[in-house]
Amino acid sequence: MTGSFNFLLHLLGFGFLVTALLGGWMIERRSRREKDLTFKRILLRAGRAIGLLSPIAALILLVTGIINIVSVYPTNPMIWHSQGWLMAKVILFAFMVVNGVVFGPIISRRRSRLVDTMIAGQAPEGSEQTLRVLEKNLTTYYLVQTLLLLLILFLSIFGSGKHPGLF
């Protein structure tokens, strides 16, 4: 039985990403139902802590993915450009990372600031409606991220190339 520690690290990074997505989504769903704003703020801070797994997972997946490409195509790593499934996977991953770095934190910060101003009693008129809109935006964000992750997983499973160190 041959194996690759890099491949195991890649799977670990995928696990981190799934944990961050699933945990963030679960906290998001729970915070949407919460009426007590103080407890909602506690949930949002917990979501932020779980969200810190995302950049770690993205970095692990990026580094180990590059190493996997070099392992699969050791003679000429530039051949991977001709693999359509791999190009699609890299593009989807890049879109997922950019979406996760840009939109998720922006919406989360806006919602956290709004909840903080609502707790302080300084919220502008219509803040309840704004909070519902931000929560719907975050639900859409998690839906898009999950869909991208499932597409990447589908391409990984059914793509033509397989890692040489697969157990």
**Per the domain annotation, does 65 fall within a domain?**
yes
Other C-beta atoms closer than 10 Å to the C-beta of 89 total 19
Comparison of pLDDT for 82 and 139, the residue scoring more: 139
Kindly report the backbone phi and psi dihedral angles of residue 78, in degrees, each rounded to the nearest multiple of 5, phi listed first: -75, -5
Query: Which domain, by its residues, includes 46?
Result: 5-158
Give the model's pLDDT for residue 1: 35
**Per the domain annotation, does 163 fall within a domain?**
no
Q: Which residue has the tokens 């906290």?
A: 27
Q: How many domains are there within the chain?
A: 1
**Per the domain annotation, does 167 fall within a domain?**
no
pLDDT higher than 50, residue 24: yes
Give the model's pLDDT for residue 135: 93
pLDDT higher than 90, residue 23: yes
**Per the domain annotation, does 23 fall within a domain?**
yes
User: 40: buried, middle or exposed (CB in 10 Å: 19+, 13-18, 0-12)?
Assistant: buried
Give the model's pLDDT for residue 65: 86
**Per the domain annotation, does 100 fall within a domain?**
yes
Whole-angstrom distance, CA of residue 94 vs CA of residue 61: 11
Sign of CA dihedral 77, 81, 82, 86: positive
Sign of CA dihedral 8, 100, 26, 146: negative
